[in-house]
Amino acid sequence: MTISTGEKLPDATLVTMGAEGPETVSLADKIKGRKVVIFAVPGAFTPTCHSAHVPSFIRTKSEFDGKGVDEIICVSVNDPFVMKAWGDATGAEAAGLTMLSDPESTFTKAIGMDFDAPPAGLIARSRRYAMLVEDGSVTVLQAEENPGVCEVSGGEGLLASM
């Protein structure tokens, strides 16, 4: 079942690259008592994710800051090494976005946002979405019907719904 507005996000262990290598991140700890944007992409370095989705949140970061958003988190079913390289390549990390890996698709499956696209080599990946989470509860959820489209789930699309 897909997560809905008003529901609490399940706790999940995601992974980031720290100074000494991969480090686990408790999602529950990261979102507790905070206003956070979480957006997910089917895959790092894939065309729409790389040229549209991440750049939309880089462009709009200051507007989210102005609305009291504490952090913008990008989640992808990739390993943390790829997420670090992608964050560097896109300028996402330099812009202040947090790049988190869901390497086994555990979080993605728990919220019902997983999909497969074997012809594109995408197995157990995340649907494209963006959500506003306040103290662990989803207050806005914008999901794309087509993984190759970034409209309602982009930075501008999420801002328009807040």
pTM score, two decimals? Answer: 0.95
Domain ranges of the chain: 13-160
**Read out DSSP for the chain?**
----TTPBPPP-EEEEEETTEEEEEEHHHHHTTSEEEEEEES-TT-HHIIIIIHHHHHHHHHHHHHTT--EEEEEESS-HHHHHHHHHHHTHHHHT-EEEE-TTSHHHHHTT-EEEEGGGTEEEEEPPEEEEEETTEEEEEEE-SSTT--STTSHHHHHHT-
**Which CATH superfamily includes the segment(s) 13-160?**
Glutaredoxin (3.40.30.10)
Answer whether residue 148 shows pLDDT above 90: no
74 annotated active-site: no
- Which of 49, 77, 97, 152 is an active site residue? 49
Answer whether residue 153 shows pLDDT above 90: yes
Answer whether residue 122 shows pLDDT above 80: no
Answer whether residue 23 shows pLDDT above 80: yes
